Each structure stands twice: as C-alpha cells, then as structure tokens.
A and B are shown apart, each in its own frame.
Chain A
Amino acid sequence: MGWKRKDLLSLQDLEAAEIRDVLDTAGSMKEIATREIKKVPTLRGKTVVNLFFEASTRTRTSFEIAGKWLSADVVNFSASGSSAEKGESLLDTAKNIEAMSPDVVVVRHKASGAPALLARHLRCAVVNAGDGAHEHPTQGLLDLLTIREKKGHLEGLSVAIVGDITHSRVARSDIHGMKKMGITVTVAGPPTLIPPACQELGVKVSHRLEEAIAHADVIVMLRLQHERMESGLIPSLREYSRVWGLSLDKLKHCRPDVLIMHPGPVNRGVELSPEVADSRYSVILDQVTNGVAVRMAVLYLLAGSQPA
C-alpha cells in the first residue's frame, strides 16, 4: 500500500496495515546493514533534522545512522532543557528550523503533545521520537519487528509489560501497536505506577509479577526512573527490585521460549538482574539493531516516497 501520512506521531493513529507496511519495509532495510558499503542513495538531497529537546543518546544516534545509511543529510539540533528556559518558544524554534527547509524533523520533547503541535505548524514531515509520557512510536515499531522476527508472527501472542506504566511512552506505543497486531497485552506494576482507567486501553492489569509473566511469550521490562522514589510512588529501589525486578529465579515459571525485551537504558539490578539481561532470553541488543532498520523505514516512507 502507498504511504499517505505527512507525519508519524503515534501508533494509536496508525492502521494495522500501515504498521505492517513499516515492518515489511524495515525488514528489507536490514539487509543494508550487512553490506560492506552501508549506504544507499534513496534519500540523497533530503535533509533530516534531529530536534531533541531532551537528552537522548541512543534514539538520536539510531535516527542519525538511519538517515546517513539512506544518504540523507542529517543535522542534530539539541536544545537541552525546555524551550521556555532558553527564552525561545517551541514554535519559534520550529519555525526557525523550518526556514532552513528540512524534509523531516525528528522531535524528542518532554511535553506530551509537542510533536503534534509541531506537525500542525510545519509543512515538513514530523516524526515523534518520544513525547513526555505519551508515545514513542518508533520504539513500538522496533519492538514489533523484533517480536515478529523471533516468533515468526504477531497475531495471537501474549505480551506482559512490566514496571512504571504511568510515566512510560514506550508502554503506550507498545500497547497501541500490539493491540492492533492482534497481541494480548497485560500490564503489571505496583498500583502507584499503573495509570488510572488503564484497562480502557484494552489491556489486562495485574498487580502480581508472577501472574503477569506466567504465560507470556514476551516480557517487556520498563526502566524505573529514580525520581519515582522521591515522589513517593515506591518506597525504595531495593523493595522494587525484589518485588518487580526480573531474576532468573522468577523466570523459572515462564515459558521456556519467552523473550525478554527492554527499551534501554537498563538499570541492572533494578528491573533486570544482570543474569537475565545477559541470558539467552534477552533480545535487548536485537531491539537496538532493529531500531535502525525501523527508523530507516520511517524516514524512507515519509521523505522518500514524495518527489524530490
């Protein structure tokens, strides 16, 4: 099918067929990484601006490599802190970037909805690289690609997402993407980290780790931010890791072919024990590899299918 969207803002917006389209495109992009010369001319003459208002190394690098392998000119614009702190509004920053005629702007921002705001005001394509606790659609797509590669299919699988659901944009993109692809999703975490009315997202909610992971084909462990302790949502990292961390011991009751995923960066010893992170169940580095492929696919679909 032909790609019709100007922007990629969320997986909630996408149809299943569009998700499949990105995954298929990403599948063919993966071959480029195996070549001696990792470069195709597809986006030659196109400009991709990485507009990161929040610190991020891996996502920005992943987009940068994706753009470069497709021969796009990739420019990194990092504005640490909020636009307000810099004294320039988000819209002003964006309009300045736009005046330099980019084809794609990749946005990471701590405010939920910031990419949607930019998409309304910019003529170029906008890719959401993570906005607040809203969505991180390319992460959701690379998770789906990783699962599809390892399991051969998506429909009918069962996934458990564990940890701080409330503050996680990865959880929301995973939930929307997985539901659309026919996956059953269970979210689990202490009730203080499960957002209100969460089951209305179409997921099961569990407050017991063992119950949530018992029949899962895939377990997505989320990163726990240390500030959750300071804001009184959990008593201590020690207790969190005992109750909600994944250890080899707890994995004993899981399916033997279970996959462990994590969006990174991992807090070793908190949500994942080091043994689990390095175990045969872990596909965390495959996720990173697939991240480049998915971002190549997204840049290609948004910028490459339009006339130069």
Chain B
Amino acid sequence: MSLLIRQGRVVDPASRIDGVQDVLVVDGRIGTVGPGLRAPQGTQVIDAAGKVVCPGFIDIHVHLREPGFEYKETVASGTRAAAAGGFTAVACMANTVPVNDNRAVTDYILAKARVEGVVRVYAIGAVTRGLRGEQLAEMAEQAEAGCVAFSDDGRCVMNAALYRRAMEYALPFGTPLISHAEDCHLAHGGVMHEGFVSTDLGLTGQPAAAEDVMVARDIVLAELTGAHVHIAHLSTAGAVRLVRDGKARGVRVTAEVTPHHLLLTDEAVRDYDPNTKMQPPLRSNRDVEAVLEGLLDGTIDCVATDHAPHALSEKEGEFAEAASGVVGLETAVPLLLDRLVRPGRLDLSTFVARMSSGPARVLGLPGGSLAPGAAADITILDLERPFTVDPAAFHSRSRNTPFRGVTGTGAPIMTIVGGTVVTP
C-alpha cells in the first residue's frame, strides 16, 4: 500500500526542506521526498497543490480524561478531536481517576489507545502517588510500561526535596519531568491573573510570581540533578526570562506555551465567561508578547494545547467556582495560522517546527520530520481555507472554548498517521 502526496509545499524544518515536492509513502513510512515522483501501480494519489505538507503535529499536553471522566472526554473522542485538528500524536496527562501513577493504569490507557485511538497516544505518568505530592509513584515500572514523561500536572509538587529526588530517580529512564509551575501559596484563592483587570472585576488574582518562583526553583533543581525538566504551559514574561537564562547556562530545561496564552490576555475575562478560566490564567499583554518572543527565539520549544475538556455544567456558572481549563485540539492550528502566521508574526517554518520537531525532541518521541524511513505521520494545511470556530461541530465531547464564533483563514485539512488518512 502506498500513497503519493503530489505538488504540495513541503515544509519540514528538521530536514531543512521548504519547497514544492512530492512525498511518497510506502508501507506506512516515508519513502522518498522529491520533485516529480512516479506513483507505483495502485498508489493512492493526493493532490496537494497549493497546500502545505508538514511532519505530523504533536501535542504533548492533553487531558484525555479516561479513565474516570468519560463524560468529559475519552481516548476515542479526544484522539478524533486531535485528528480533526491536525495532530498525529498526543501525550496525555496523569490526572485521571484512578490517577495514572501505576503500571495498570498506563497499560489500560495504552490498550484503549491501540483499539480506539485515532492518532498516536503517549502516556505521561504521575510523579507522586495520587498526585498528592508526598511519595514517589512507581516510575520505573511506568517507564517500562511506556510512559514518556512524568508529571503531576494540575498540581505543583511543592516539596522541593521530593521533586529533587523525583528528578534523580527518573534519570535512568531518560524521561523528562514536566512541571506544572505554580506556587500554591502564592496562587492561593486566585481564579485569574493578578493585575488591574482582577482588581476591576473583584476577582481574586494570582500573581505571575506564583509561576516564576517555581520555574526558578525547577531550573535550579535541574541544574543540581542534571535532570531534564520541561515547563508546562509557560505563561509569564518572567518565566521566559528564567528559561532563556537556564538554557544559556546549559541547564536541561525546555518549555511549552499554549495557544490561549499566545492569543488572549486577562482582558478576555471581563464578562466573567468561565471559558476564559484556566491554569495558569490568561496573563497581561506584556506576558503575551514575551511568550511569543520566546517561541520565536526557541526559548520555548513547542506549542502544546493543554486540551482540558469539561462538561457544560462545569463551565456555565459562577466564574470563581467553575472548572479550570479549555479545549484546544480543534482550534490550535487554525487560530495560530490566522493570528500569528498569516500576519507574519510567526513564520511558517518556525510554526511547523514548534508543532512537530520541537515537541518530538522535548519528549524524545519518534516523528517530527519527513525524513525517509520515518513513520508517515503527516499534517496537510490549507493556508487559504476560511474557518469559523463552531463548538457544536467539535469531535471532542466538550465545548469549553474561549474562541466560540471566531473566524479566520488557514486550517488543517488532512491528518495522516502511519500512512493512513485519519481525518474524521
């Protein structure tokens, strides 16, 4: 079985390719990339003229909610959403019920993914048992079972000594620790970013410093232990500065940023819509500018959506009591294409790198390039395709997006995993 993608503009930053080429896929792997390729007998041909052909996009921060919260999302619905949004692989966080803090849960998630998953699924294990921040989870067994990283995402491991030991313990597996950097004392009670808008709205804020102090701590600990620490959903100017400085000094620190932290400020909270509530909260304009700058200069390695599905009933009431988090898998690519790539604030090649090779490198995953022999995970974009964000049309089980009704131009049109078209 082979597949020929013809006449598309191939953008593969990892292979330093940007030009009109054909891509031949044979037996689920990239065969040849080059001009005017011949299609062997029985080849499926995809005309990609005028479109952009990229290495499959990878989202290393999603919540698939299974097991435990199947009413919000399942492995099946979440991976369908990923495929619809142009992602060929996702890595799912451990805050399920039961928590993914042992091999049995990892096995369950990965078995579900093999049977029902539409795109590739990687599991992230918990750092501490029950995400309680008290005792290490059985990371060795989890790594054996396939966990590609460890994180208590949703909570911060506040005990620095324990986190230090977690970093050391994980060293032999070559898996990074992913930090949800939030000092819970500084952030206590805060439901949005602390600043003029929180003052104006009478909502309790949490200062950017709640994130900054933890990013600083984690960089210091990474330096102490030699471990690789990855900062999840980095959102402040201060954290960008700290990571930039850490990288310059050779510390093994990487970082991701979400589309909402790139595109929205705390001004979006003004009408108390719980769909603008997330952790970390939407920040100031200065922070938004700083994270974009960090994404451009490579301080921030990748975009990750922090896709966090919640049911309508958890997102329609009082702001302070609503659940935190927004869905992102089906809106990330179109919004970033329209708001950042189209106006030239982020060049296409860097965008593709931060969506594919960047995340692959952070978690040490295969993929992220169209090099011959690589698995044929491919995302095809149409930069001229108009879109409207319509939550009712989401493949995700949840609709909690702050971008309802937003229109723009540029969208993923085809997602290919292992040579098979999986676009729903």
Contacts and interface: CB of A to CB of B under 8 A. Distances in A.
Interface in A41-94: 82-84, 89-91
Contact of A114 (B194, B195, B199, B318): B318
A113 interface: yes
Interface in A117-147: 117, 131-135
A197 interface: yes
Given A89-B317, A113-B319, A196 B272 contact: no
A109 interface: yes
Nearest to A116: B272
A196 B271 contact: no
Contact of B202 (A82, A169, A196): A169
B195 A135 contact: no
B7 interface: no
A172 B272 contact: no
Interface residues of B, number: 21
A176 B200 CA distance: 10
Interface string B184-199: 0000000000111011
A201 B318 contact: no
Contacts of B318: 82-83, 90, 109, 111, 113-114, 117
Contacts of A195: 198-199
B316 interface: yes
Contacts of A196: 194-196, 198-199, 205, 207
A111 B195 contact: no
Interface in B337-367: none
Nearest to B207: A196
Contacts of B195: 196-197
B199 A89 contact: no
A134 B201 CA distance: 5
B313 A112 contact: no
A196 B195 CA distance: 5
Interface string B265-305: 00000011000000000000000000000000000000000
B421 interface: no
Contact of A132 (B202, B205, B313): B202
Most A CB within 10 A of own CB, among B196, B202, B316, B319: B202
Contact of A198 (B199, B317, B319, B321): B199
Contacts of A166: 199
Interface in A185-211: 195-198, 200-201
A272 to B, nearest CB: 24
Contacts of A112: 201-203, 272, 319-320
A117 B202 contact: no
A219 B199 CA distance: 22
A131 B320 CA distance: 12
A242 B129 CA distance: 49
A90 B320 CA distance: 13
Given A89-B313, A196-B196, A132 B272 contact: no
B112 to A, nearest CB: 31
A113 B317 CA distance: 10
B200 A201 contact: yes
A7 to B, nearest CB: 13
Interface of A: 12, 82-84, 89-91, 109, 111-114, 116-117, 131-135, 166, 169, 172, 195-198, 200-201
9 contacts: A89-B316, A113-B272, A116-B271, A117-B272, A133-B202, A134-B203, A195-B198, A197-B196, A200-B199
Top-5 shortest CB links A-B? A113-B272, A134-B202, A111-B318, A133-B202, A197-B196
Given A132-B203, A133-B203, A172-B200, 6 more contacts: A89-B313, A112-B319, A113-B318, A133-B202, A196-B205, A200-B199
